[in-house]
Amino acid sequence: MAYVYSHVVIVGIDGAGNFYKKTETPVIDRLFREGAGTDRCLTSLPSISAECWGSMLTGVPPEVHGLTNSIVEREPYVNKDHPTIFKLIRDARSEAVLASFSNWSPINTGIVEGGLDVDFDSGDDAELTERICSYIKDKKPVFLFVQLDNVDGAGHSYGYGSDKYLETLSRADGHLGKIRAAVEEAGIADDTLFIATADHGGLGQSHGGDSDEEKYVFFAAVGKTVPKGSVINLEVKDIPAIVARALGVKGAPNWNARLPEGLFTE
Ligand SMILES: [Zn+2]
């Protein structure tokens, strides 16, 4: 029998790619030591936010989910053939506390389907993090998705990998640490699968292409059945299969998400 977690938390750092290796990120480093991961998790192409977050939440590539930045900014996602992991969890668990706290609000309004009784919040990374920490301790959500956006903003303004970008990434690592600490303070760390990752990286002051800097992102997952310090192979579109397996929820029959080999010992 596969071990079923009571909680899954995903913290996605927009535009972080695998640049953590170039700056101080003690929290990400600790997640890698305490769990399984890779710095070559392949994202979807084109390496653009809506396309990649869309794949992370639906388990299918952009040509299938059809999401683009301009679409998610103007209309809700309605696609019965390719639901998000939020919809799959809700269909299986009517009472589960689900939440999406995304600085880039189109994730809340244009990727997660409406009408699922998901708690939404949006705001600048630092203030949003404070509210996320209170929320975790207060509600102990079954599934919490977080998107931090300031790193991507710094990449567009100053260049991906620039000093200011890397400083912002270190700050995001601090936010990640606060969220991890809130999970521990809430007393749920033992049965939480905790994931940190990114939607894409960047090159120069943009992204969307297929260079290594744009298409590879870091991925780290910590949980009681995740082997410490092991390296796994996966793509961003595999992440909903991980969430489904962790929570004991059935995946979508026609998605392309696969459970990475070696992520769970049971
Ligand atoms: Zn993005």
Q: What is the per-residue pLDDT for 234? A: 98
- What is the DSSP-derived secondary structure letter of residue 112? S
Q: What is the per-residue pLDDT for 266? A: 84
* Stretch (H or E) spanning 59: none
Q: Which pair of structure tokens corresponds to residue 245? A: 């397996």
C-alpha to C-alpha distances, 187 to 6, 63, 160, 222, nearest whole angstrom:
12, 41, 37, 15
CA 134 / ligand 1 centre spacing (Å)? 26
Q: Which pair of structure tokens corresponds to residue 152? A: 């991507």
Single pTM value for the model:
0.98
Q: What is the per-residue pLDDT for 1? A: 72
Q: What is the pLDDT of residues 226-254, one digit of tens each?
A: 999 999 999 999 999 999 999 999 999 99
* Positions of the chain with pLDDT lower than 70, given as ranges: none
Residue 10's DSSP bridge partners are 145, 195
CA 48 / ligand 1 centre spacing (Å)? 6
CA 3 / ligand 1 centre spacing (Å)? 32
CA distance 42 to 214: 9
End-to-end CA separation in angstroms for the chain:
7
For the chain, the maximum distance between any two Cα atoms, rounded to a whole number of angstroms, is 49
Q: What is the per-residue pLDDT for 253? A: 93
CA 14 / ligand 1 centre spacing (Å)? 5
Q: How many CB atoms lie within 10 A of CB 185?
A: 12
CA 152 / ligand 1 centre spacing (Å)? 6
Q: What is the per-residue pLDDT for 39? A: 97
- What is the DSSP-derived secondary structure letter of residue 27? H
**3-state class (DSSP) for residue 226:** coil
CA 190 / ligand 1 centre spacing (Å)? 30
User: CA angle, 98 as apex, 2 and 252 as ends, to 5°?
Assistant: 55
CA distance 211 to 200: 11
CA 95 / ligand 1 centre spacing (Å)? 31
Q: What is the per-residue pLDDT for 252? A: 96
**3-state class (DSSP) for residue 76:** coil
Q: What is the per-residue pLDDT for 66? A: 96
Closest by CA to 175, choosing from 209, 142, 151, 144, is 151
Domains of the chain: 7-247 (3.40.720.10)
Q: What is the pLDDT of residues 30-45, one digit of tens each?
A: 999 999 999 999 999 9
CA distance 172 to 167: 9
